[in-house]
């Protein structure tokens, strides 16, 4: 008997991604999985039901997709979706919570549903192909640089013509994680003069390898945390950071901020006083908008002008590139399934999720 994977349509307004693309679905079908997709689930990502049918996927109603052995989604399920899942099912997707008492988690536990949170995939070499946070952040960094170039009313590259010449835009990227590094690479490809800053000293080499110039500040402490993430600085270091960064940021024509600390409000890096000093028409693209913003003037899911500066607060860049984002995410899911399931005869059997360090880290359990 096949293991059934259900793919419901994402219900969050504005979410265009789907958890499974036709090409990845075909590969999973070839490995013995049976896939059931809610009709229309892939339309906003550019995938039609016919594309899935050609890949061997069954098109079903919402109740059937949610009632499968294994439900895969992109965004956190709603209470209604959890109510439609069957007892003892497996769920894979982002859970978007740091609270173990979260009501959605508790509803899952009440039905003995075992959730694997994609954001909890550990950042180790073996798990790189399953790291959905990185795959989606990569897209976000690229799309943020494109957004900045589109909003900035001047050229990004040095431009020399018979009608005159202009200097390249000065772009500053704050945060050299996955999103920041992709933003650096994209801004460089667009011809900008790129500078980058990160509190983790080990990022200097990565910044330079992409052709950007690292901004170095002496804060009196390091910001390297666990798992490759930044840790929160002391109040004294935060104040010194803002003071030392101010002059660099005020000279920028474009700032792209990507600084996030897991389960904490985003650190303030671009103060209102800095915004007031920036040139009219400059752009700040704040990738931390959903967590309070790296600039206090940012408004989540809005584009506003403050003190003559354009602040972009989009909170879901991957959804703006839903086709590729969905394919990347589907590959992350497929690679995770490869270590979760083994074939015994003609049947697929779920392994003990606690035996592998990756699934053990991703599996969310009730607190004792």
- Catalytic residue annotation: 123, 128, 131, 134, 229
CA dist 259 and 288 (Å) reads 7
How many Cβ atoms from other residues are within 10 Å of residue 324's Cβ? 17
| Nearest-5° Cα angle at 312, 281 to 144 | 100
Distance from chain centroid for Cα 209:
23
Q: Which residues contact 96 (CB under 8 A, 6 or more apart)?
A: 75, 76, 119
CA dist 329 and 77 (Å) reads 16
DSSP 268: P
Cβ(330)–Cβ(73) under 8 Å?
no
Which of helix, strand or coil describes residue 213? strand
Cβ(178)–Cβ(201) under 8 Å?
no
Task: Of 165, 134, 143, give the one whose Cα is nearest residue 323.
Answer: 143
CA dist 215 and 251 (Å) reads 13
DSSP count for the chain of H helices, then E strands: 13, 17
Alpha helices of 203-288 — where are they, by DSSP H? 204-209, 235-250, 272-277
CA dist 268 and 158 (Å) reads 31
Task: Of 61, 101, 99, 105, give the one whose Cα is nearest residue 82.
Answer: 105
């Amino acid at each position: 008997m096949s293991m059934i994977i259900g793919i419901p349509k994402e219900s969050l307004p504005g979410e265009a991604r789907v958890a499974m693309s036709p090409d990845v679905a075909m590969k999973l079908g070839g490995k013995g999985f049976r896939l059931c997709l809610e009709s229309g689930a892939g339309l906003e990502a550019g995938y039609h039901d016919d594309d899935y049918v050609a890949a061997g996927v069954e098109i079903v109603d919402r109740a059937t997709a949610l009632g499968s052995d294994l439900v895969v989604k992109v965004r956190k399920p709603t209470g209604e979706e959890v109510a439609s899942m069957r007892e003892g099912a497996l769920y894979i997707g982002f859970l978007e919570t740091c609270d173990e008492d979260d009501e959605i988690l508790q509803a899952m536990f009440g039905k003995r549903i075992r959730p694997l949170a994609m954001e909890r995939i550990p950042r180790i070499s073996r798990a790189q192909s399953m790291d959905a946070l990185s795959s989606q952040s990569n897209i976000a960094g690229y799309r943020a640089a494109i957004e900045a170039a589109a909003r900035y009313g001047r050229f990004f590259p040095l431009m020399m013509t018979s009608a005159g010449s202009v200097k390249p835009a000065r772009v500053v990227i704050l945060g050299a994680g996955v999103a920041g590094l992709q933003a650096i690479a994209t801004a460089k490809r667009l011809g900008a003069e790129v500078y980058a800053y990160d509190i983790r000293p080990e990022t200097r080499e990565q910044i330079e390898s992409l052709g950007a110039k690292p901004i170095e500040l002496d804060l009196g402490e390091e910001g390297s945390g666990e798992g490759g993430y930044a840790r929160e600085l002391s109040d004294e270091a935060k104040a010194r950071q803002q003071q030392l960064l101010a002059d660099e940021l005020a000279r920028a024509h474009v700032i792209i901020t990507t600084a996030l600390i897991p389960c904490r409000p985003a650190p303030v890096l671009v103060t209102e006083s800095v915004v007031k000093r920036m040139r009219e028409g400059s752009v700040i693209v704040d990738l931390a908008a959903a967590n309070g913003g790296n600039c206090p003037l940012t408004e989540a899911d809005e584009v506003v002008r403050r003190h003559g500066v354009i602040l972009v607060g989009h909170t879901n860049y991957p959804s703006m590139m839903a086709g590729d984002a969905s394919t990347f995410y589907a590959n992350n899911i497929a690679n995770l399934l490869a270590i979760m399931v083994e074939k015994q005869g003609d049947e697929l059997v779920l392994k003990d999720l606690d035996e592998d360090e990756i699934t053990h880290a991703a599996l969310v359990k009730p607190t004792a």
